[in-house]
Amino acid sequence: MKTAAPDGEAPKRRKSRSRANGEGSIFSYRNGYAAYVWVTTPDGRRRRKWVYGKTREAVHEKYVKLLNESRQRPIATTVPTVERYLTYWLQEIIKPNREPNTYSHYELMARLHIIPGLGKKRLDRLTVRDVQAWLNKLPGTCQCCAQGKDARRPRDHRDPRKRQRCCALGECCQDYPSRRTIQAARNTLRAALNHAQTEEIISRNVAGLAKLPTARKRTRKASTWTVDEARRFLEHARETDDPLYAAWALILVMGMRKGEVFGLRWADVDFDAEELAIGWQLQRVGNRLIHKERTKTDGSTDVLPLPPLVTAALRVRRRQQAEARRACGDAWHDSDLVFTTRTGRPIEPRNVNRAFASRCAAAGVKAIRVHDTRHTCGKLLAALEVHPRVAMQILRHSRISITMEIYTEVPSEDTRAALKRLGDHLWGRGPGAAV
C-alpha cells in the first residue's frame, strides 16, 4: 500500500526507465508515482508540495494542476483537519475579535455538531458531498443519544426528574435538531471555511455549496396569548405590585427582547418626551453576565415612542426601586439599570423565565415562553388603538404588511374596552393610579 512522504521531505526515488516531455519531477515511487512542485506557502516560505498517484498519467495531471495553482496563489504544504482548524479559528480569530456570545454560539455548534461529523476530515480534502452527507444525517440524529445527555444522569436519584429516563434505557426521546440549529451549524462551518479561504489554505468553500435538508417537524408549537389573556396577566402583575410588572409591559406592549429589557438603563428612558432608547442588552455568556451596548441587529437600536400604559408602568417601577434602595441602604449597588434585584444588582436572565412561568400560573393564563410574547404584542397595540405605522416602528418590522397581518386579528369590543380601562387606570386617570 502506498504511503505519503512527510510534507517537505523527498521520498526515496526508484529509477524510472523513461520520462515524457514536460513531466518535470515525476518518478516512480513504491507502488505508483510521485511528483513535487516548488510552491510559496501562505507564510511566504518556498517549500516542496508533493502529489502521488498509481499511474504516471494521474500524477502528471495532478502535477500540472498544482503547478498552475502555485503560479496564481500561495499553496499550503501542511493542511490541518477540520477539528484542528476549528480549534485554531475559534481561539485565535473569533474569541479575540468577536462578541463573547458569538464565540459561545460558534463553539457550541462546532463541539456538538461539526467536529463529531466532520472533525477527522483534512480541510483541503473536504468535499461538497462530505458536507451534504453530514447535513442530511443531522435531522435524524437524536441529540440526547449523540451527546449522551441521558447517559450522564444517575440511574438512581431521589428526584425522579434527574434520573435516567429515555435514551440510556433504550427508549429514544427523539430529540432531533431543528432546521434553525442545522442552519446554524452549517453557517458556523461556512464561516470557518471562509477564513481558511482568506488564509489561502483552501481554494473554495464547500459548505456554501451544500443544501440544507428539511428537518423533522417539532411536536411543540409556539404559543401566543389572546389580548384578553395578556390583559389578565398585566392586571394581575399590577394589582400584586410585581417588581417586574414594567418588564412584562415592555415585553408585551413594546415587543422588546428579554435581553433588551433587562439591560435597559434609566438614562435610556425619557419620561418628558415619552420615548425609549433601545441600545443595551444583558446576556449570560458561559459563567459571565455581560451588559453590552450592541443589540441583536443594527435595526434593533432605536428610539421608540412609549405608549401611555408603558409610561405609567415605568413610573411604578421607579417608585418600587426607590423604596428598595432606601430599604437596602449602604448595601445598594448603583448600576442605573431599570430592573435590578433587591440590592441593585443585575437580574439573572434565566431567573426571568422562572418568574414569568410563576406569574402565568398565578394569573391563571396559559403558560408560554417569554420569547413567544412578541406576536401577542402586535395584538395588544391594535387593541390599544396604536396607529399601524407607530406599531411597525415599535415592533421593528421591515415591512408594514407584516404589521398589518397582526392588526387584522381584530380583538373584540369588550376586550378593547377592558384594556383601555386598564390603560386609563395606569395612566393616572383612575383611582389609585401611580405617579
Burial of 273 (0-12, 13-18, 19+ CB in 10 A): exposed
Grid cell locating 243: 417588581
SS3 289: strand
The Cα 161–Cα 152 span in angstroms is 13
**Each residue's pLDDT expressed in tens, for the chain with a length of 435 residues:** 444 555 545 555 554 444 444 345 788 888 889 988 888 877 778 888 888 889 988 888 888 888 888 888 787 777 889 999 999 999 999 999 988 888 989 999 999 999 999 999 999 889 999 999 999 999 989 988 888 888 888 888 888 878 888 888 888 888 889 888 999 999 999 999 999 998 878 888 999 999 988 765 554 455 778 878 888 898 899 889 999 999 999 988 888 888 889 999 999 999 998 888 888 888 877 777 777 775 445 444 578 878 888 898 999 999 999 999 999 888 898 888 999 999 999 998 888 888 999 999 999 998 888 887 877 777 777 766 667 666 676 666 666 665 565 555 555 555 555 555 555 654 444 433 443
| Strand residues in 135-280 grouped as ranges (E) | 269-270, 275-278
Domains of the chain: which residue ranges?
A: 1-78, 82-141+176-209, 227-427
Q: What's the CATH fold of domain 227-427?
A: hpI Integrase; Chain A (1.10.443)
SS3 content of the chain, % helix, strand, coil (to 5): 50, 10, 40
H or E stretch covering 194: helix 179-198
H or E stretch covering 32: strand 32-40
DSSP state of 229: H
CATH class of 82-141+176-209: mainly alpha
H or E stretch covering 421: helix 413-427
Kindly report the pTM of this predicted structure.
0.63
If we measure between CA atoms, which residue out of 81, 88, 5 comes closest to residue 47?
A: 5
Enumerate residues 6+ apart whose C-beta is below 8 A from 109.
184, 185, 187, 188
Grid cell locating 376: 401577542
Residue indicated by cell numbers 508533493: 50
